[in-house]
Amino acid sequence: MAAGKDAFEIRIHGRGGQGAKSASQLIVEAALDQGKQIQAFPEYGPERTGAPMKTYARISDKPITTYEPVLEPDTVLVIDPTLIGQVDVTGGMHKDSVLIVNTTETPEEMKKKLGFSGRVYTVDATGISIKLLGRNVPNTPMIGALMKITGVIDVKYVEQRVEDMFLKKIGREKTDANINAIKTAYDEVKG
Amino acid sequence: MMAEAKHKVVSLTGNYAIAEAMRQINPDVVAAYPITPQSAIVEKFSGFVNNGLVDTEMVRVESEHSAMSACVGASMAGIRTMTATCSAGLALMWEIVGVASGLRCPIVMPIANRAISAPINIHCDHSDSMGARDLGWIQIYNETAQEAYENVFLALRLAEHPKVQLPVMVCEDGFITSHCVQNVKIFDDAVMKKFIGTRKPEFALLDLKNPITVGAIELQDYYFETKRQQQEAMENVPAAYLEIGKELSKITGSDYGFFQEYKTNDADAIILTMSSATGTARSVVDKMRAKGKKVGLIKLRLFRPFPYEAVAKALEGKKIVGVLDRSMSFGAHSPLFGEIRNAVYGMKDKPALQSYVFGLGGRDLLESHVEQVFEELLAGKTNDEIKYLGLREVSQ
């Protein structure tokens, strides 16, 4: 978090329908369980499936009053690697900011591609998702990577939320697979 | 901070917080039609009905005109009635919005403020409810999901107050608040149930032992008297609002003034605005105060009836006030600015005023815009023109 700021600010880039909104919600719900003040909101455009979109999240020990979009994120998550080169994913990042990209490429390759010298981490969230969940839902594993790199909240609160949200809906086996995907991304993120 | 009643802290959007309030109120009838960004209120509440968490009669209507018509009928029958809408939905129910207040129906209607077309736009500004400001409804504007949640309860009691008997709009900013996940304190069901009590109508269509006529024609003979009584009811609102607010604050610990002052005591420049913009402005006040700049903020909650005297008292002796409107009254002063200008009329030591318009159609209000306003005010820059924030054209 940048000096002088009260809130840890996150920006998530995805495409409509990829779960960027659910991801930001899951992050702040876990933070709430850890006793934090929270805020999460998407930047709503015309709401088209597949169109580039952003969501924001703030986590703080103090009440969050501003409704300004996150302009200088402490962390940026890129859920869809095809957005690289299409959307300004590094915009507003400061020297301590962290960029985490869902890609099979290495952090060095990603830095070169972006022409960006800041802190870049990569994780194959799509690969993890297909392997463990049987489909491409990289948003949940990306949260595991976020927790590992930033430590903004304890990963156990995320796992508990996933358990609460999914168990009734999709059963034990699939819930465990989701938690496993988070843990795997937590372990495998590189940078 | 006062002691708070039993509650749980959950993460909710403004819409879901309002739906929670509706669940706890358990209205007898809800008749509503979905419209972005209000839809999630009705969608969530429909789930409560379906799952048996409330025993509300949910009337699924084919339009907002029908929604308000059904609400008027239910309310006149003597039972608790709610709906929710915004923008084009409010515009379509217009005819019956006036009927609801004219018939003195204590209906509570959350609004997720949204722009009025054209150009077509689904995002936030206050054109919808501001356009309805002269239709005889009480209007309360809310900054956060928490405030909207609490004010739904206040609104219900206010609407049903024997000296008031008027419908209330509880406004939150579309998307900005309606779709923003925040920490929300949900107070205990039993405590809130006790707070709202039961509706005891003086007259009710279904009170068969005391038959009444509702909706009769009144021409040159009585219309004027009825309308004068509506004014009297509105004049009774401020006292009832404060009285109910005091009672509610014993549960929530919140204050329910007509407006909230923030660091205004020694302020050299003040911004006066409503709804979510006050949250962003408060953040700027803190940052500028940390740099030694004496700036302050007033958040107006009660827009109808307008608390002229209290506002005047708060502004007397202040140097300069920037009024930020999220809607326009084309060819006239913007709604909030016009009222503030009225409020200071005749005041001996009145502040200089500047009208600003921001955020139409959901245009972001950035902290840099608010800072710009404070800097202009601190420099004493005012004129008779509207200044626009975040507008791409050169306007000054």
Per-residue pLDDT of chain B (396 residues; tens, 9 = 90+): 456 889 999 999 999 999 999 999 999 999 999 999 999 999 999 999 999 999 999 999 999 999 999 999 999 999 999 999 999 999 999 999 999 999 999 999 999 999 999 999 999 999 999 999 999 999 999 999 999 999 999 999 999 999 999 999 999 999 999 999 999 999 999 999 999 999 999 999 999 999 999 999 999 999 999 999 999 999 999 999 999 999 999 999 999 999 999 999 999 999 999 999 999 999 999 999 999 999 999 999 999 999 999 999 999 999 999 999 999 999 999 999 999 999 999 899 999 999 999 999 999 999 999 999 999 999 999 999 999 999 998 655
Contact status, residue A154 vs residue A33, Cβ threshold 8 Å: no
Cα distances from A21 to residues A167, A178, B14, B221, in angstroms, run 20, 17, 16, 58
Regarding pTM above 0.90, the answer is yes
What residue type is B240 in one-letter code?
A
Placement of tokens 């900011």 in the chain: A97
CATH of residue A149's domain is 3.40.920.10
Query: Is the CB of B179 less than 8 angstroms away from the CB of A44?
Result: yes
Structural domain including A162 reads 7-188
Percent of chain A with pLDDT over 90: 90
Q: Which long-range contacts (CB under 8 A, 24 or more apart) does A95-101 make?
A: A96/A1, A96/A2, A97/A2, A97/A72, A97/A73, A98/A74, A98/A149, A98/A150, A99/A75, A100/A75, A100/A76, A100/A142, A100/A145, A100/A146, A100/A149, A100/A189, A100/A191
| Dihedral sign, Cα of residue B359, residue B361, residue B362, residue B364 | negative
A42, A67, A71 ranked by CB distance to B279: nearest = A67
- pLDDT 10s digits, A8-23: 999 999 998 888 999 9
A38, A42, A67 ranked by CB distance to B183: nearest = A38
For residues B110 and B168, give the distance between their C-alpha atoms in angstroms, rounded to a whole number. 8
Q: What is the largest CA-CA distance in chain B?
A: 69
Q: Does B183 touch chain A (CB under 8 A)?
A: yes
Nearest to B233 by CA among B171, B167, B170: B167
Tell me the backbone φ, ψ of residue A17, rounded to 5 degrees.
100, -5
How far does A110 lie from chain B, in Å, by closest CA? 31
A32, A41, A68 ranked by CB distance to B367: nearest = A68
Q: Does B280 touch chain A (CB under 8 A)?
A: yes
* Total number of domains constituting chain A: 1
Nearest to A125 by CA among A142, A111, A147: A142
As to burial, measured by CB atoms within 10 angstroms (0-12 exposed, 13-18 middle, 19+ buried), residue B184 is: buried
B173, B181, B282 ranked by CB distance to A65: nearest = B282
First-to-last C-alpha distance (Å) of chain B: 44
Domain presence at residue A1 = no
Pairing between β-strand B29-32 and β-strand B57-60 as defined by DSSP bridges: parallel
- Name all domains of chain B by residue range, CATH numbers in brackets: 7-252 (3.40.50.970), 259-388 (3.40.50.920)
Residue of A nearest to B9 (CA): A32
Give the pLDDT confidence score for residue B394 in this predicted structure: 63
Proportion of chain A in helix, strand, coil states, percent, rounded to 5: 40, 20, 35
Domain presence at residue A2 = no
CB–CB contacts below 8 A, A to B: 61
The residues facing A9 across adjacent strands are A58
Give the pLDDT confidence score for residue B45 in this predicted structure: 98
Contact status, residue B149 vs residue B172, Cβ threshold 8 Å: no
- pLDDT 10s digits, A55-94: 999 999 999 999 999 999 999 999 999 999 999 999 999 9
A25, A32, A65 ranked by CB distance to B279: nearest = A65
How far does A112 lie from chain B, in Å, by closest CA? 32
Give the pLDDT confidence score for residue A4 in this predicted structure: 72
Residues of A with CB under 8 A from a CB of B: 24-25, 28-29, 32, 37-42, 44, 64-69, 71
How far does B35 lie from chain A, in Å, by closest CA? 15
Q: Does B361 touch chain A (CB under 8 A)?
A: no
